[in-house]
Chains A and B, each alone.
Chain A
């Protein structure tokens, strides 16, 4: 769990990031308050009807019952729309945050592992929605409802209001007294329980590894012992921990009892009307209900707060202002003292590169593996900044060119390209509509790739051979008619015939091309990277 902010600070950030969040919250709280008002109205009316019947007074039962029916009707409407409303209003917040989170991922503003990022973008963002549509309104209502209801009581019957108010005020003190001592122990025990759950997950997920070393039966036995020992120790702490909810329950029910008794005593003395007494009696339990709801969601919320904090950290660093336009014709690309940044290595290990790729020409980047060829290509594609020096395109530093405009004129083919899409056509088009089937077929043919456009591809091009996939990725780049072509080992794992064919196509392709390779390719220029002398292992 990452650091958690206070709910109010978090909420301010959430509303600042996503303006819809405020409306989502207002809607949820408002519908809660309407429901509450209707509850009070129903109680007053019911008390009125019963009191009149009791006193044998002349009254209009039919019209009162009709009114009760109207209130029920309104409550039905509120009940019907409350949940859908919450979803309707919170969904745009979720979508907005998810889109921004994905943008942050695509712009490489994310640190941490892949699994963490995926978790954050899925569960993390869903947790925000739950937090926004569920916990925060519950929390607001847990404050607003008691205040409002006690306020109403104070106007009708100050003594009952005082009793209920006193218990509400005593509640936090009570809970702190009981809960504080247990809290530290409690967290420790939960951590142990969690460990046991993890231990089971570990044993289940790592079973193959355990079996391979003949350790699985031992692990299964251990699981049995650990579980029983933990049950006993955890129960000791749970008994203490549940005291805080016991306090809430006890105060609530004793207050209801006390209110009923005091109402009875005053009715007995003739100081109070029955209708007031009944209304107060019906409303009293409602004061504690929102508190109980909020308390029930409390544990789930702490995950939501942590997730929300992390997601907001992720999306709040928006990208800088727009850059300069990308080139419209085949550009000249200059590397000036360029040195890529490679994690875990001293930058001084790598040599600074100075070379120019003339417009429409091909430069081959050669050198042993590990010298930073791929990283340099990634810098040119705009995925990573250089550690030192600059790349200049038609006289404009690449860092100043608008990133998405630059990517629109560039095509990058990595070493092991990802080929999503259900069919060959889909994989090539990726949603583009301005490329005709004829163009696609011509490009495939030029790469010696005899594939039907409707051929299904399977998961990530799984039904193709490695060589076919590689050529398909190349075709995907070429049909976009890029001005700049960036290729990482385009002919690895290809047989000699297809390699020759592809190199032939590439050498004639009208684009400013940088190709990383460890074999010799027909190029206009060759830049060779030296292996660094010190090589940290």
Chain B
């Protein structure tokens, strides 16, 4: 992983380099103004105590006001420009990530596609954090640190070295410690948290199965076990944070004591300008406070960089299906799909072994087999989302690798076992399949897919907004939406992956009869684990394990 450069993130940032430069500039202004305000006000007060003429104080007084104003204005500029850069970079990164994902889905991301996509979505959002809460504080603290060391160094070399040492501990040593300890425990806490989510998911979905045996204590026991592990990781992380905070405070305190001693002794010995006696102490307080923002920033930096790296790796992941170069044969009239001796491996694990089958007009093929036997893999092959390691799939006389995937999918439809519902209206969700479909056509498709009962409960009918993964639709209803889309797409060949899951026997039978009638002139492949579903089939295939 580490050799992969995070190019998509870098590209997105490069495009926003002007805004980024302005943000860093404004951040530098804030740092310098903060340092300036501390130094000037310390000088002003001590100088005033020497009771010089009022005129000699006009310069420091003016400077104090100027720094105060510059600090506020700089902060405003920093925030605006950081957000501008973040918004722009995010928009670019989203677009480039979507473009990178496009050829990979649904078969190119390994066995748990859904998790992989969730990770990608989370990674993209993290880049915002990289800019707003990591890059800007780091730059500001660095500039403030250098300015402080230079200023104090001008007063006394020893004082300059003391501040530098304090800054190294607070701004470098403590953050590194925080990053190392924090990261490990953070990972652990996240792992436990994921297990907790799985357990709670089990409990909400299947809790009754355990409670119905009188064993709810077993569930509470598992919950307590995970909470203990979670607490353990959290406590360790908290102690690591405490340690970093303690180190920061100790370094600040020691720096302060040493600087104060140097200034006091210097004044007593006569080689330290009396009016500057308070300057190093107040300067150190301001600079070390800025430096203490580095540690939290660095802790999240590591996660941000990992996210950026993963996005970089995504852009380089091997694409499962590549379109051929040059001209492709015309397949717009094809009605037959043939798979010959197809075989698929994931790593060393054989997912599908040497299957031969075909879909010709009039077919209703029922594919059965226990889970994990490669039923879905066969569907992905036939819809040209995946290419076999051996054997081939052809559309009519033309092998898939001689035609573009889009051409295949104009003839072959796949309704997967979890059709996605977009955050938009039911109508727009259906028009994914045919953008120019009229409302009447949509309603007709809904009716045939058995969505009439759902439609009657939706307050705004077709115009009702649905949304994403938590859309309020049942699994069965989602499948019906997927089927309605497929009806609208009007393709002669269609593969349905577990179309009856979550339906009762009667609903399943009705649905499959409709499918058979709609595709009377085409061909249907029904993937299922239910024996009853095969009643409508003209042919049945049972897949057995590849091993």
A residues near B114, Cβ cutoff 8 Å: 205
Q: Which residue of B lies closest to A254 (CB)?
A: B68
CB distance from A20 to the nearest CB of B (A): 14
B residues near A253, Cβ cutoff 8 Å: 33, 37, 67-69, 71-72
CB distance from B502 to the nearest CB of A (A): 11
> B395 contacts the other chain (Cβ, under 8 Å)?
no
> B168 contacts the other chain (Cβ, under 8 Å)?
no
Q: Is the CB of B101 within 8 A of A204?
A: yes
A residues near B102, Cβ cutoff 8 Å: 207, 211, 216-217, 220
A residues near B516, Cβ cutoff 8 Å: none
Q: Is the CB of B432 within 8 A of A215?
A: yes
Q: Could you give, for residues 59-79 of chain A, a 1 whenever the CB lies within 8 Å of some chain B CB and a 0 otherwise?
A: 001000100110111011101
A208 to B504, CA, bound (A): 27
B residues near A206, Cβ cutoff 8 Å: 420-422
Q: Which of B102-150 contact A (CB under 8 A)?
A: 102, 105-106, 113-114, 117-118, 120-121, 124-125
> A430 contacts the other chain (Cβ, under 8 Å)?
yes
A383 contact from B105, B212, B250, B433, Cβ within 8 A? B212
> B22 contacts the other chain (Cβ, under 8 Å)?
no
- Contacts A53-B267, A65-B261, A256-B68 given; indicate if A204 touches B95 (C-beta within 8 A): no
> B444 contacts the other chain (Cβ, under 8 Å)?
no
Q: Is the CB of B281 within 8 A of A369?
A: no
Q: Is the CB of A270 within 8 A of B409?
A: no
A residues near B278, Cβ cutoff 8 Å: 50, 54, 278
Q: Which residue of A lies closest to B30 (CB)?
A: A249
- Contacts A80-B243, A203-B98, A263-B45 given; indicate if A414 touches B209 (C-beta within 8 A): yes
B242 contact from A84, A209, A224, A257, Cβ within 8 A? A84
Q: Is the CB of B120 within 8 A of A204?
A: yes
> B537 contacts the other chain (Cβ, under 8 Å)?
no
Q: Is the CB of B260 within 8 A of A65?
A: yes
A residues near B80, Cβ cutoff 8 Å: 235, 238-239, 242
Q: Could you give, for residues 413-445 of chain B, a 1 whenever the CB lies within 8 Å of some chain A CB and a 0 otherwise?
A: 111100111110000000011010000000000
Q: Which of A41-67 contact B (CB under 8 A)?
A: 42, 46, 49-51, 53-54, 56, 61, 65
B residues near A410, Cβ cutoff 8 Å: 212, 214
B residues near A99, Cβ cutoff 8 Å: 220, 223-224
CB distance from A429 to the nearest CB of B (A): 9
A224 to B248, CA, bound (A): 44
Binds B, one of A3-11, A112-120, A390-398: A112-120
Q: Is the CB of B214 within 8 A of A227?
A: no
Q: Which residue of B lies closest to A114 (CB)?
A: B204
Q: Is the CB of A411 within 8 A of B213?
A: yes
Q: Is the CB of B75 within 8 A of A246?
A: yes
> A381 contacts the other chain (Cβ, under 8 Å)?
yes
A71 to B257, CA, bound (A): 11
Q: Could you give, for residues 188-232 of chain B, a 1 whenever the CB lies within 8 Å of some chain A CB and a 0 otherwise?
A: 000001001100111111111111111111111101100100010
Binds B, one of A193-201, A352-360, A496-504: A193-201
> B249 contacts the other chain (Cβ, under 8 Å)?
yes
> B385 contacts the other chain (Cβ, under 8 Å)?
yes
A231 contact from B91, B206, B406, B468, Cβ within 8 A? B91
Q: Could you give, for residues 208-247 of chain A, a 1 whenever the CB lies within 8 Å of some chain B CB and a 0 otherwise?
A: 1111111111011001101110110011001100110110
> A462 contacts the other chain (Cβ, under 8 Å)?
yes
Interface size on B, residues (CB 8 A): 144
Q: Could you give, for residues 50-88 of chain B, a 1 whenever the CB lies within 8 Å of some chain A CB and a 0 otherwise?
A: 011010010011001101110111011001100110011
> A323 contacts the other chain (Cβ, under 8 Å)?
no
B residues near A126, Cβ cutoff 8 Å: 193
Q: Is the CB of B87 within 8 A of A82?
A: no
A residues near B485, Cβ cutoff 8 Å: 209, 213
- Contacts A80-B242, A264-B48 given; indicate if A214 touches B406 (C-beta within 8 A): yes
A211 contact from B200, B254, B385, B470, Cβ within 8 A? B385
Q: Which residue of A lies closest to B122 (CB)?
A: A201
Q: Is the CB of A205 within 8 A of B469?
A: yes
- Contacts A209-B432, A231-B91 given; indicate if A75 touches B249 (C-beta within 8 A): yes
CB distance from B243 to the nearest CB of A (A): 7
> A282 contacts the other chain (Cβ, under 8 Å)?
yes
Chain A residues touching B, majority SS: helix
Q: Is the CB of A105 within 8 A of B69?
A: no
> A91 contacts the other chain (Cβ, under 8 Å)?
yes
Chain B residues touching A, majority SS: helix
CB distance from A46 to the nearest CB of B (A): 6
Q: Is the CB of A418 within 8 A of B72?
A: no
> B97 contacts the other chain (Cβ, under 8 Å)?
yes
> B263 contacts the other chain (Cβ, under 8 Å)?
yes
B residues near A198, Cβ cutoff 8 Å: 423, 468
Q: Which residue of A lies closest to B61 (CB)?
A: A261
Interface size on A, residues (CB 8 A): 139
Binds B, one of A22-30, A146-154, A401-409, A440-448: A401-409
Q: Is the CB of B260 within 8 A of A49?
A: yes
Q: Is the CB of A480 within 8 A of B214?
A: yes
A residues near B261, Cβ cutoff 8 Å: 61, 65
B84 contact from A42, A235, A486, Cβ within 8 A? A235
B residues near A411, Cβ cutoff 8 Å: 212-214
Q: Could you give, for residues 489-523 of chain A, a 1 whenever the CB lies within 8 Å of some chain B CB and a 0 otherwise?
A: 00001000000000000000000000000000000
B residues near A383, Cβ cutoff 8 Å: 208, 211-212
> A88 contacts the other chain (Cβ, under 8 Å)?
yes
A223 to B485, CA, bound (A): 22
Q: Could you give, for residues 376-406 of chain B, a 1 whenever the CB lies within 8 Å of some chain A CB and a 0 otherwise?
A: 0000000101000000000000000000001
User: In the complex, which of the residues B83, B214, B248 has the most CB atoms of chain A within 10 Å of its own CB atom?
Assistant: B214
- Contacts A113-B472, A200-B94 given; indicate if A537 touches B453 (C-beta within 8 A): yes
- Contacts A204-B98, A278-B45 given; indicate if A88 touches B193 (C-beta within 8 A): no
- Contacts A54-B274, A277-B49, A465-B370 given; indicate if A231 touches B117 (C-beta within 8 A): no
B88 contact from A204, A216, A224, A231, Cβ within 8 A? A231
B residues near A242, Cβ cutoff 8 Å: 76, 79-80, 83
CB distance from A129 to the nearest CB of B (A): 9
CB distance from B409 to the nearest CB of A (A): 5
Q: Could you give, for residues 31-48 of chain B, a 1 whenever the CB lies within 8 Å of some chain A CB and a 0 otherwise?
A: 001000100011011111
A residues near B57, Cβ cutoff 8 Å: 264, 268
Q: Which residue of A lies closest to B205 (CB)?
A: A114
B residues near A231, Cβ cutoff 8 Å: 84, 87-88, 91
Q: Is the CB of B75 within 8 A of A249?
A: yes
A residues near B52, Cβ cutoff 8 Å: 268
A residues near B277, Cβ cutoff 8 Å: 50, 53-54
CB distance from A69 to the nearest CB of B (A): 6
Q: Is the CB of A268 within 8 A of B242?
A: no
A482 to B213, CA, bound (A): 9
> B330 contacts the other chain (Cβ, under 8 Å)?
no
Q: Which residue of A lies closest to B407 (CB)?
A: A214
A69 to B258, CA, bound (A): 10
B residues near A278, Cβ cutoff 8 Å: 42, 45-46, 278
Q: Could you list 17 examples of A-B contacts with CB < 8 Å? A: A50-B260, A68-B253, A84-B241, A98-B223, A102-B200, A122-B200, A217-B102, A246-B72, A249-B76, A252-B72, A254-B68, A256-B37, A257-B37, A257-B67, A270-B51, A274-B45, A278-B46
The 7 closest A-B pairs by CB, nearest first: A227-B91, A72-B253, A412-B212, A418-B206, A206-B420, A208-B106, A257-B68
Interfacial residues, chain A to chain B (CB-CB below 8 A): 42, 46, 49-51, 53-54, 56, 61, 65, 68-69, 71-73, 75-77, 79-84, 86-88, 91, 94-95, 98-99, 102, 105-106, 110, 113-118, 121-122, 126, 193, 195-217, 219-220, 223-224, 226-228, 230-231, 234-235, 238-239, 242-243, 245-246, 249-250, 252-254, 256-257, 260-261, 263-265, 267-268, 270, 274, 277-278, 281-282, 368-370, 378, 381, 383, 404, 407-414, 417-418, 420, 430-432, 462, 465-466, 473, 476-477, 480, 482, 486, 493, 536-537
- Beyond contacts A69-B253, A417-B209: 8 other A-B pairs, Cβ-Cβ < 8 A, are A65-B261, A80-B243, A200-B124, A201-B121, A205-B114, A220-B102, A250-B72, A407-B216
